[in-house]
Amino acid sequence: MKDLTIRPEYLIDDEKKLRSLCGDTSESVWAKATSVITEPMKQFIAQSPFCCLSSQNAERKTDLSPRGDPAGFITVANESTLLLPDRPGNRRYDTMRNIVQSPQVSLLFMIPGVSITLRVNGRAQISHDPELLAPFSVKGKLPQLVVIIDVEEAYGHCAKAILRSKLWDPTTFQSQKSVPTLGELMSHHRKIPEEEVNRIKQAIINDIDDSMY
């Protein structure tokens, strides 16, 4: 779409325009949200091995970070508080830098094979308190940090997006060979020599082997 034209008369720039085009929200949809983690939500989190964590900095530039570990890796400390261990990553610290500037975060919990999801919005703090880190030890290794999330809103999300995407349908799974590698995603725009690309690919493999925890 090299000749893409964005016509301003069709842009939605306020809620009134949005609702006139798409309709109003029913009371039942608003009512599904709660300010605490309920028992069914706690069970869902306990079975979730993966979530996405959204954050933004003071300039409202956003970031979305994948987080994963064995199911139940995020602890429900109480009905209003979640604890999320920060495992080794790429050391950009995007999420941590954002939280320091702006505490608002959102999480999307997913369970493989399950089409519904759980959404949680709240305010985050970062701690390196040894007592908070201790329960998250894996293979004798502690995370350096733990994210404390004060829950402000939580609700279940319907299955439509997962079903439309056929995310858990094995017949739609792609072969690893058909997808660009992480090394290619990281290096193609840099126009670097092939030997440097190969070095990056090997470094990624080594990082997974040596620094999972």
CB of 149 closer than 8 Å to CB of 105: yes
Question: Is 134 inside a domain boundary?
Answer: yes
Q: Is the pLDDT at 210 greater than 90, yes or no?
A: no
pLDDT, one tens digit per residue, over 79-135 is: 999 999 999 888 899 999 999 999 999 999 999 999 999 999 999 999 999 999 999
Q: Give the containing element (helix H, strand E) for 44.
A: helix 39-46
Q: How confident is the model at residue 199 (pLDDT cuts 50, 70, 90)?
A: confident
**104 shares a domain with 195:** no
**178 shares a domain with 145:** no
Question: Is 16 inside a domain boundary?
Answer: no
Q: Residue 110: which domain range? A: 32-165
Q: Is the pLDDT at 2 greater than 80, yes or no?
A: no
| pLDDT reported for residue 176 | 86
Q: How confident is the model at residue 196 (pLDDT cuts 50, 70, 90)?
A: confident
| Cα–Cα nearest to 132, from 111, 152, 147, 150 | 147
Measured between alpha carbons, how far is residue 5 from residues 1, 13, 17, 18, 64 in Å?
9, 17, 21, 21, 28
pLDDT, one tens digit per residue, over 28-73 is: 888 889 999 999 999 999 999 999 999 999 999 999 999 999 999 9
**195 shares a domain with 157:** no
Question: Is 197 inside a domain boundary?
Answer: yes
**108 shares a domain with 185:** no
**90 shares a domain with 194:** no
pLDDT, one tens digit per residue, over 161-185 is: 999 999 999 999 999 889 988 888 8
| pLDDT reported for residue 1 | 58
- Say how many domains are in the chain: 2
User: Other CB atoms closer than 10 Å to residue 133's CB: what's the count?
Assistant: 18
Question: Is 4 inside a domain boundary?
Answer: no
pTM: 0.90
| pLDDT reported for residue 102 | 97
User: Other CB atoms closer than 10 Å to residue 173's CB: what's the count?
Assistant: 10
Residues 61, 149, 99: CA angle, nearest 5 degrees: 30
Where do runs of H (alpha helix) occur along 63-129?
94-101
